[in-house]
Structure 1
């Protein structure tokens, strides 16, 4: 990627993976648009970037408010005149048994993680088709390839993203638009603290696995070369990534292993 000439729009850019992506793209000379709900945190990330007034723009965005997407896309396009890459990183996780989860909490999670990601992508897609270029990146999860306890709606949303974007990849090939699905393992972010419990309230705890996971900076350093190669699917993490390959060999074996693993 010729990053000094690229414009990259990152959702969920106020912390974690999104924040680390912002710093790495900025360091490599790309123009960056930062989106998330918390304006003060977006400003903090922008202030930590180099040459931020010229190279970094902020667009507040709530992925549950799809009616705002047309205006947000037009605003994003106006910042630097074009967009080359959309990184769909915004979302939330879950810590609840399926039997206890309210339908309201399930719908909220699907609205943000699936419909929000798809809706924003669809709104930007005609621009990519018209310019006959573009790179759509979706930060999915290992949960997009398998399932564990406490993650039923979260895994469902991630599985749905894989299905939708795998189909989209086939449809936009002729326009030189690339689609990359990224499956992180355990990364040191606040995603578990902000995860939804059965009644939709916040979990407010840091998982042991997350605390011991890969630092976001390391994750992003490993990710960017794979984006440059326009990989269709990327797996980055620790030993938990092996579960994807075990599933291919034996679903029975994987389920036996997962029943013994602490997933919180």
Structure 2
């Protein structure tokens, strides 16, 4: 990859933060976004190259602002080459115990927020004759698991939308990479919503034992550089995708017995 301008959402922690570090290490300029301007400014100031970091805070649920946000993003360094849609929230609650408002919030942030931001930037990519969307989905974008019904639905929806978009934009030289992490050692479960909309405030055992965000970022970077359409990232849990594809009955039995939270 030539030195590019990369816009990363959900950049204040976890995979997003690790991606910011990785792209800066490789000499790229980064636009960093999340809800917390204070954290983003701290990250910029602590960076070895703060001049190559532009802070652009926003909330994925406030989509009326996205057109102006995209204008600011392009103006920051004169262009945007790659948008990594990493921002979002997870869930840890049974479907029957989850309020509909919580289901709606998960879809609003994870699906509609990501789609709205991408569509706001899309005219610029088309006019520029190139561009790249990378979407951090999840392994549950490939199959649903207990306690994650609306979260899995939002990630499944991202696959459907961006696979369609990829086919539509092929002639415009605009690429789409779907990234499906498994258990990565981040705070995603701590910040996950429970049935009433409050945070879980607990670290999943599997999450705690998962791949480091830094290793995950390295794999994502290489995959995007290689122009991959889809990537599975993680440990042995990623093979569940193939188990479901080739042995769906066995996979369903395993899933029913799995102790996941």
- With normalisation by structure 1, the TM-score equals 0.97
Q: Which residue of 1 aligns with 2:232?
A: 235
Paired positions, count: 261
Could you report, residue by residue, the CA deviation over 1:166-220 in whole angstroms, capped at 9, with x for unpaired residues? 0000010001100000000000111101111001111111100110010000111
Task: Choose from 137, 154, 170 the match for 1:157.
Answer: 154
Moved over 3 A (4+): none
Q: Which runs of 5+ in 2 are unaligned?
A: none
| Cα separation, 2, equivalents of 1:118 and 1:195 | 21
Say which of 7, 10, 13 aligns to 1:12: 10
Alpha-carbon distance in 2 for matches of 1:208, 1:43: 31
Deviations 1:54-80 (A, max 9, x none): 200000110000011111111111100
Match of 1:214 among 211, 215, 220: 211
The gaps in structure 1 that reach 5 residues or longer are: none
Q: What root-mean-square deviation, in Å, do the aligned CA atoms of Structure 1 and Structure 2 show?
A: 0.8
TM-score by length of 2: 0.98
Map of 1:22 onto structure 2: 20
250-259 vs 171-180, which deviates more?
A: 250-259
Rounded Cα–Cα distance in structure 2 between residues aligned with 1:169 and 1:222? 21
Alignment partner, residue 125 of structure 2: 128
1:174 and 2:171 matched: yes
Aligned residue in 2 for 1:39: 37
Distance of 1:90 and 1:234 partners within structure 2: 18
Aligned with 1:182: secondary structure?
Answer: strand
Q: Distance in 2 between matches of 1:251 and 1:182?
A: 22
Task: Tell me the residue number matched to 1:142.
Answer: 139
